[in-house]
Structure 1
Amino acid sequence: MRTRLVNPVFHVLLIVLALGGCAAITPQEDRPADKSMAPAAFERWPALSPIADRNVLVPLNEGKTALNWRLQLLQSATQSIDLQTFIWRTYATGNAILAAVLDAAGRGVKVRVLLDDSFLAHADPVLHAVAQHPNIRYRIYNPAANRAGGTVTRQLANITEFNRLNHRMHNKLLLVDGRVGIVGGRNQADEYFGLRQQQNFRDMEVLLQGPVINDLAPAFDLYWNDEWSIDIDALTEGDPGLNLISERQALAAAPRYPLPPVASVAQWRQVFEGGFAAELELIVDDPQQVGSGE
């Protein structure tokens, strides 16, 4: 009997070609633009009225302080939340942020979440379940066509689209009610807030209010309405065994960072009184380079 050796690279190429032909992503070229809501009335943010004509930034250097103000900002939302991030892990931090988002949606707040697809393997069923809430919408930026399997499988299946998939969205932005925002380098994960035992990152964010906030909504909309930002419902059908009720139950049982008390008007006034007045300019990269081959 003869044994014939086959080049393993040839097998890998066959698998890549087979998987790559199973699915495709269609850019949403003719979709109507979905714009941010107008800023909330100052009656909903009375702490901002005396300082609304000048930019005030509050450095969020320490992780737990940054997380607490992020959660308090979500808890203070009255009409809209726009959240854009590269990573959102379902650990203590991510679960706390999700709980605050669900609470806000329950109050009638309209929520838009834009996630990069780099670390979303196996996450689609949960995103589908949460998106069943009528006030919550998820879009995935520049998604992999093959949603099955783990990260390696997805990357192999889409290796023929390297020029497109090589463009990722690292933006981190949280805008609440068109009045207060947080921008900076932190993802929604424990290691960005000093909560991991094994490793942590040092990062910086700023809490913002003032005229610069008027630039945050267009910056979010620029990516939200990009043709490669795809609604989760257009990517997969979800898991029939998961729904909003089951996700709420799972979230209630999962470890999570405790939600702080809702910040009072006096606390919001105090935090911005301790901030810095500044001339600010928001600089945002253009997402249109995606898929261009550049």
Structure 2
Amino acid sequence: MKKFGKMIKGILKIWFFYLIVCLAILPLYHKRADEENRECERVLNMAGQERILNIENNVDALVWRLRLIESAKENIMLSIFDFRDDNSGQDMMAALLNAADRGVKVQILVDGINGTLYLKGSRNFRELTSHENVEVKLYNPITLIKPWKNNYRMHDKYLIADDFAYILGGRNTDDLFLGNYIDSYNEDRDILVYETVPGEGNSYIQIQDYFKKVWNLSCCRMYRKHEGINGRLREHYQEVREKHSEAFCEIDWFEETIETESIELCTNPIDPDNKQPQVWNRMVNEMEEADNILILMLYK
């Protein structure tokens, strides 16, 4: 038995050393950007075709998300790093379930670690995903077979409603970022992009194609549906309508937004791997070419 115990301890030591190498040492080796990578190719749209709204505070951030969800008639795509079953998270789930009840196809893409930690035990989330019009995938779930993959997360945070508008920024779907539910919260920023010609804006085409590419990656696993779950999300939706009534009024999208000359979206490679810093490379090239440049960094 002593020899067996020593063997087990030896195996565990090797395993922990292997984890340290995979999770801490390997990511220290950085790749260089490929100048020919097309993910950062500049694409400009016609001036005025896409209009924007700057969303500064967390209350507005929740209200505008609810407006987009309520206005959708065909498709909703939500990609998020952190989605919690808290107050604002339940507001969003209730609105998404109502959209699914209206016949809207809802696709939700969540980071694998956060989705596993915070959503798999959520009855509200299981109720949402039990709907036939709702599909959920987890990006790069935790794996013990390939532990070096566990450090590669998906930090995307955007919501697309049909082909007329999307919100892109730094806010997760939880009380730290949305609504006015807690005293201590994160200050962040989103940009809403409104398409004056539905489906024709270049940035809209980019972000929709990007979502589809990530959605179809082999590392994305379908979240298992739990059939026949009836909770209180539909009842909560009525509470959301009363609590955030301004989100359910008619919106003049043109008046709420301002004109842009162009919108450029840029991304690093999307596979869970040690990535080439394409975004940083694109920023450096822009700074070398421009006389004046303003950079706003959002990180979470």
Q: SS at the partner of 1:191?
A: coil
TM-score (norm. length: structure 2): 0.67
1:80 to 2:75 alignment = yes
Q: What SS is found at the alignment partner of 2:160?
A: strand
Q: State whether structure 2 residue 180 is matched by structure 1 residue 195.
A: yes
TM-score scaled by structure 1?
0.68
The DSSP-based 3-state class of the residue aligned with 1:121 is: helix
**In structure 2, the residue corresponding to 1:245 is in which secondary structure?**
coil
Instruction: Kindly state the Cα deviation for residue 252 of structure 1 after the two structures are TM-superposed.
Output: 6.9
Verify: 1:68 aligned to 2:63, yes or no: yes
1:106/1:54 Cα in 2 relative to 1: closer, same or farther (>3 Å)? Answer: same
The correspondence for 1:170, drawn from 155, 163, 173, is: 155
Aligned partners of 1:12 and 1:182: how far apart in 2? 48
Please tell me whether residue 222 in structure 1 is matched to residue 213 in structure 2: yes
The yes-or-no answer on 1:213 pairing with 2:204 is yes
Q: Which of 112, 116, 124 pairs up with 2:120?
A: 124
SS at match of 1:207: strand
Note if contact 1:132-1:244 (Cα within 8 Å) is conserved in structure 2. yes
Matched, 1:94 2:102: no
* 1:280 equivalent in alignment to 2:258: no
Cα pair 1:172 1:185 within 8 Å, conserved = yes
CA distance in 1, matches of 2:170, 2:159: 12
Q: Percent identity?
A: 24
Conserved in 2, the CA contact under 8 Å of 1:61 and 1:204? yes
Secondary structure at 2:52 match in 1: strand
Q: Residue deviations 1:129-158, cap 9 Å, x none?
A: 42221100000010124xxxxxxxxxxxx3
Deviation at 1:283, TM superposition (A): 0.7
Contact 2:140 2:220 in 1 (8 A): yes
Q: Match for 2:132: what amino acid?
A: P
The equivalences for 1:1-294 within 5 A come to 10=9, 13=12, 54-119=49-114, 120-121=116-117, 123-124=119-120, 126=123, 127-145=125-143, 158=144, 161-193=146-178, 195-210=180-195, 211=201, 212-233=203-224, 243-246=228-231, 248=233, 258-260=243-245, 261-265=247-251, 267-272=252-257, 275-288=258-271, 290=272
* Cα pair distance change 1:107/1:293, threshold 3 Å: closer
**Structure 2 residue runs without a partner (length 5+):** 20-45, 196-200, 277-300
Alignment deviations for residues 160-182 of structure 1 (CA, whole Å, 9 cap, x no partner): 63311110000011000022000
Partners of 1:139 and 1:224 within 8 A in 2: yes
Give the RMSD, CA atoms, in angstroms: 3.6
1:122 Cα deviation from its structure 2 partner: 5.6
* Counterpart residue identity of residue 68, structure 2: L
CA 1:281–1:203 in structure 2 vs 1: closer, same or farther (change >3 Å)?
same
Q: CA deviation at 1:190?
A: 0.8
The count of aligned residue pairs is 234
Q: How far has the Cα of 1:91 moved from its partner?
A: 1.0
SS of structure 1 residue aligned to 2:243:
coil
Deviation at 1:193, TM superposition (A): 2.9
The answer for unaligned runs of 5 or more in structure 1 is 1-5, 21-50, 146-157
Q: Say which SS state the counterpart of residue 285 (structure 1) adopts.
A: coil
